Amino acid sequence: MARFTRKAIIQTFREMLEKTPLDKITVTNIIEKCEINRNTFYYHFRDIYDLLESFFKEELERVIEANTNESWQNMLRDVLQMVTENRQIVYHIFNSLNRDQLERYVFDSTNKHMYELVKKEAEGLNVTDEDIRFVSEFYQYAFTGFFLKFLWSDMKPDIEDFIDRLNTIIDGNIQLALKNCSDKNNNSPKNRTNQ
Residue 194 lies in a domain: no
Q: If pLDDT is split at 50, 70 and 90, which confidence band does 126 have?
A: very high
pLDDT of res. 191: 61
Alpha carbon separation from 166 to 15, 81, 113, 173 (Å, rounded) = 33, 16, 18, 11
pLDDT tens for residues 144-172?
888 888 988 988 889 999 999 999 998 89
φ, ψ for residue 92 (rounded to 5)? -65, -30
Given a contact cutoff of 8 angstroms between Cβ atoms, the answer to whether 58 and 10 are in contact is yes
Task: List, in order, residues 6 or more apart from 38 with CB less than 8 Å away.
Answer: 27, 31
* CA nearest neighbour of 76 among 176, 167, 141: 167
> What residue numbers bound the domain in which 125 lies?
2-187
Does 97 reside within a domain? yes
Of the candidate ranges 75-79, 171-175, 181-185, the one whose mean pLDDT is the lowest: 75-79
> What digits encode the pLDDT tens for the residues 50-107?
999 889 888 877 777 776 666 778 888 888 898 899 999 988 988 888 777 777 878 8
Residue 193 lies in a domain: no
In a domain? residue 106: yes
The answer to whether residues 60 and 109 touch, using CB atoms and an 8 Å cutoff, is yes
For the chain, how big is the Rg over CA atoms in Å? Answer: 20
**CATH code, domain with 27:** 1.10.357.10
Most confident option among 29-43, 46-60, 139-153: 29-43
94 assigned to some structural domain = yes
Residue 89 within any structural domain of the chain: yes
Q: How many domains does the chain have?
A: 1
In this prediction the pTM is 0.77
Percentage of the chain beyond pLDDT 70 is 93
Cα–Cα distances (Å) from 189 to 41, 89, 122, 171, 181, in that order, read 57, 54, 22, 31, 14
Domain for residue 195, yes or no?
no
- Are 144 and 107 contacting, i.e. CB atoms less than 8 angstroms apart? yes
Give CA–CA dist 113/128, Å, rounded.
18
| 59 domain-assigned | yes
- The span from the CA of 156 to the CA of 169, in Å, is 20
